[in-house]
A and B are shown apart, each in its own frame.
Chain A
């Protein structure tokens, strides 16, 4: 078995991978937290809607970048612990990850552009805006639950609590 190269990547010390995984998490969750905070501000100052609609794509890019780093480093971490795939809590974590990823697609291709369109007339409180608010609220819950759920489950697994 000529496995030296693969072995050194996947079965050697994975400290670097872990650090980069956490960096990816910080970048992604940093973007999510920023959006959440700005949405809180927007709740009290709806006139900022047009400006916020412009900065949201920047945070979306940041979140996607974090996602890529999380995935790139997550792969070798999974590869070095193949048995994790049968662990219920690991599967739960991946469920959260998948949920926030799909939610990200929804936000990028529906919620984001729609917000940009509705933000300038947000104070009018039209039926369309109210409906959009409802949908966005669901998306927001998925985002918060998904990201922090994944973090909590990861910590529990890493520390052997579950």
Chain B
């Protein structure tokens, strides 16, 4: 046996290697990568002479209809359910189901879907631009009075090339208005489990130079508050039987979807401190009746047997310039976004782009129906894989750091051509987001162990060779 000093080198090396692999990589503050990188949304689409209907169904054990509460604790008011990094710790951030729709007006959307709208500088990315910088920007700060960067399409930015899109290089408002007039934007429908669902509405918006709400009044507003005096409004006990929700029950998700877990202008009154108690919880986002173009999509939902089912219904042509009109046979591109487990901002699942046509062959074919309401048992169901997208941005896809940047810039390929399997794409995105994770793969760790082991074997062999005579 020639095994002498080599193990004293190898074993500590293995231990150090393991510590480095599992502990040595610091995580950024905004870093959360879900264990489940891919999930599935089952989707159906139907239409009649007046309306289009979407139905989505997905698995979720989480009761995600609670959102953003002000809680009375130890004599002061504390906010729970602010936009979280990953899932909200207490489950107090609403789930969402979103769909982006384009009719061919936005270059590149048919090939890359939502990736086209995500750029360096967006909120929650590692490259997030500071609020101060956004406020100083002539368009986002001064014109729109925003303090963050959200989705936009490259066509809304200056640049010599169609694919160029830098957050602080927006076109003039006049040119942006012209694009909107021409229908160059991505329609964005958002079913919100809290901020809309209780009153049967879907938030209608669009993506152009920013992620805008459509013209009109949205379904939710603010409940002004401060730590000492609390929120301005509470529940009207005469209407709903209580002045505040119970924080402990909220954390356990004990309010069902058909109960009152939201504040609404119809049953809110000024706060009466006398009626507050330890753990009293008041929603920070009261609901109101939406109006105008923002209110054109009806929503309905259920949560049964650990599955959400969401239906959306809208007129084929609303007549508003910030909505895409649907026509039979015409080609549309849609891309889904799913926010599960009380996650917000970028911690969602997205689909690849899919071709949609009404009554014509396509990736997703909307089925014509005669009546006012589809019989969903008769409508074809499509299984749409949705994946965690990491921090892959359009800026990166078109940069020289990306191996396929030339094809992307030339709009010659689609995401389907490059990454045929969405789950593989998710894995690649995760590896890009957190390179350290690359080294934590079991096979990489095994390979490293083999390297160390082989070094030990070589040392043993050398010792034997040295002793040859």
Contacts and interface: CB of A to CB of B under 8 A. Distances in A.
Interface string A49-91: 0000010011011011101100110110011001111000010
A105 B2 CA distance: 12
Nearest to B126: A1
Closest 9 CB pairs of A and B: A61-B461, A57-B464, A83-B424, A64-B457, A67-B454, A64-B458, A71-B451, A64-B454, A60-B461
A61 B462 contact: yes
Interface in B424-467: 424, 427-428, 430-433, 435, 438-439, 441-444, 446-448, 450-451, 453-455, 457-458, 460-462, 464-465
Nearest to B457: A64
Interface bracket on B: 35 or more
* Residue among A54, A68, A104 with the highest chain B CB neighbour number at 10 A: A68
A160 to B, nearest CB: 12
Nearest to A66: B454
Query: Which secondary structure characterizes the binding site on chain A?
Result: helix
Interface string A90-111: 1000100110010011001100
B7 to A, nearest CB: 10
Nearest to A61: B461
Contacts of A84: 443
Interface string A1-40: 1011011001110000000000000000000000000000
Interface of A: 1, 3-4, 6-7, 10-12, 54, 57-58, 60-61, 63-65, 67-68, 71-72, 74-75, 78-79, 82-85, 90, 94, 97-98, 101, 104-105, 108-109, 112-113
Contacts of B127: 1
Nearest to A7: B401
Nearest to A77: B447
6 contacts: A3-B432, A3-B435, A58-B461, A64-B461, A71-B448, A109-B1
Interface of B: 1-3, 126-127, 391, 396, 401, 403, 421, 423-424, 427-428, 430-433, 435, 438-439, 441-444, 446-448, 450-451, 453-455, 457-458, 460-462, 464-465, 468
Contacts of B455: 64, 68
Contacts of B461: 57-58, 60-61, 64, 108
Contacts of A1: 126-127, 391, 396, 432-433
B460 A108 contact: yes
Nearest to A74: B447
Nearest to A11: B403
A90 B443 CA distance: 10
A94 B446 contact: yes
B462 A3 contact: no
Contacts of B451: 67-68, 71-72
Contacts of B430: 82
B441 A85 contact: yes
B390 to A, nearest CB: 9
